[in-house]
Amino acid sequence: MMMMKHGVSNMNITKEVVHKMIENASDNMRMHIVGRACVAIFQYQTAAEQAVNDTREFNDEGFTSGDAREGSLTAKYYLKHGSLQEWQIDKWVRLNKKGTMRIAKYWRQLDRAATEKLARRA
């Protein structure tokens, strides 16, 4: 389902949607998609986790323990500079053994963040 309100589409974010958005994006847009996604996930980390770039609570919020350091640093870099380095983008869009981009495994949190953002704008 896709509805437009204030120029923002209301659609369910899935792994497939994340893949398509990134695959069809220009290099510049891909950078912003990855950066904004990392920031959205980072915001689900607890304050203590954000401070140490690690996962301390296993609450299905924020980055997994394997991604916490790089995810937190990527989000902080994007917040500070408004851009990412190519190697940072590559890390998050690289496919795993199952053919899933690293950033796409967070699709549930990205869907939640998009829904929350839309509700704030309503």
> pLDDT by residue (tens digit) across 37-62?
999 999 999 888 888 888 877 778 89
pLDDT digits (tens, 9 = 90+) for 59-117: 788 999 999 999 999 999 999 999 999 999 999 999 999 999 999 999 999 999 999 98
- pLDDT at position 57, please? 74
Is the sign of the CA dihedral 75, 70, 42, 56 positive or negative?
Answer: negative
Q: Long-range CB contacts (< 8 A, 24+ apart) of 111-116?
A: 111/12, 111/13, 111/14, 113/40, 113/41, 113/43, 113/44, 114/13
pTM beyond 0.85: yes
